[in-house]
Amino acid sequence: MLSFLKPSDQMFLNDLNRIGQRLERAQTQITTGRRVQKASDDPDVVSDILQARATLSRLEQVSFNLGRFTAEVNSAEQSLQAAVKVVDRIRTLGTQGANGTASGETRATLAAEVSEALSQLVGISRTSVEGRYIFSGDADQQPPYEFDAAGDPPFSYYLGSEPTRQAEHPNGTTFSVALSAETIFDPADPADSIFRAANNLRAALLANDQDAIQAAVDGLKRPATHVNRQLSYFGIAQGRLKEAGEFASRYTLQVRGQLASIEEADLTEAILELNQARLNQDAALNARAKQPNTSLFDYLR
């Protein structure tokens, strides 16, 4: 396109346009508090900004997941604390039944109480959080066990699966925070199964067999220790989740600080730039106004 402006006029307009851009940029920084609004504002830092935002997005998701895991682990820990108390109750009932002075009627009553305690343990194994059975492993939409007092045994086989979900630490590593009800209450080794030990005691009490009752009471020791060991597992998991959550909070603050140092404007510098640009604009306009405005017609007068 042809231009009918003199070179000096074009240079003046170009300079004025640049000053206008400085004014606009400084005003935007003061208004928004941000130095980088678009890639063209500072192309050299675009990749750093994108990386920081991606990291913040990942940390947000990791923190959310850690919160869910924490809720589940806290519920698991509380449930197993209740289970330990039920196991202690079963052992107390067994000790009462093993007393040589206990009658058959008394032992039958104790057997009913042991059956109720076993039902409570099965109920604990069915603990759910947000619609998920936390002891059912990956098959968390169905309870891990069913209970039928008339059954032999009164508890079903394990209906869940192995827990393979892993909690992600903000540093990128993963760790397990779940146990299956099978591992806790009815592991592969029958000697560690509180379900089987309690049921053995119930059967011995019903049979009014003192030797069998004593053997069943002795058989409760290992399962009781096993359940307590699983309780400690969740205590450790709580500690790991707490540390991971605190790490995520610190890391998030660090990345936000890095992003702010890149994106956010230095308001003092922006105000100085705005004032300087205004002075330059006024000076340019005043200087232009003082230039003689002559044309060919002025010389032909």
Tens digits of residue pLDDT in 231-251: 999 999 999 999 999 999 999
What is the structure's pLDDT at 8?
Answer: 61
Rounded CA separation 184/223 (Å): 9
For residue 263, the model assigns a pLDDT of: 62
Q: What is the DSSP string of 200-269?
A: HHHHHHHHT-HHHHHHHHHTTHHHHHHHHHHHHHHHHHHHHHHHHHHHHHHHHHHHHHHHHHHHB--HHH
Rounded to 10 degrees, the C-alpha dihedral 123/126/129/134 comes to 140
Percent of the chain residues past pLDDT 90, beyond the cut: 66
Higher pLDDT, 246 or 274: 246
User: What pLDDT band is residue 33 in, cutting at 50, 70 and 90?
Assistant: low
The residue assigned the tokens 């993963």 is: 174
For residues 290 and 180, the model is more confident at: 180
Report d(CA 278, CA 265) in Å as an integer: 19
Question: pLDDT tens digits for 178-220?
Answer: 999 999 999 999 999 999 999 999 999 999 999 999 999 999 9
Q: In the chain, count of helices (H) and strands (E)?
A: 9, 4
Given pLDDT bands bounded at 50, 70 and 90, which one contains residue 297?
very low
pLDDT at 299: 44
Q: What domains appear along the chain, each with residue ranges and CATH number? A: 55-257 (1.20.1330.10)
Position 21 scores a pLDDT of: 58
- pLDDT for residue 119: 97
pLDDT at residue 267, as a whole number:
47
DSSP summary character for residue 188 = S
Q: Torsion angle of alpha carbons 97, 102, 103, 104, nearest 10°?
A: 10
Counting every residue, how long is the chain?
A: 301
User: Which string of b and e fits 38-50 if b means at least 16 CB within 10 Å?
Assistant: eeeeeeebeebbe
Average pLDDT value for the chain: 85
Mean pLDDT value across residues 47-64: 90
Position 1 pLDDT exceeds 50: no
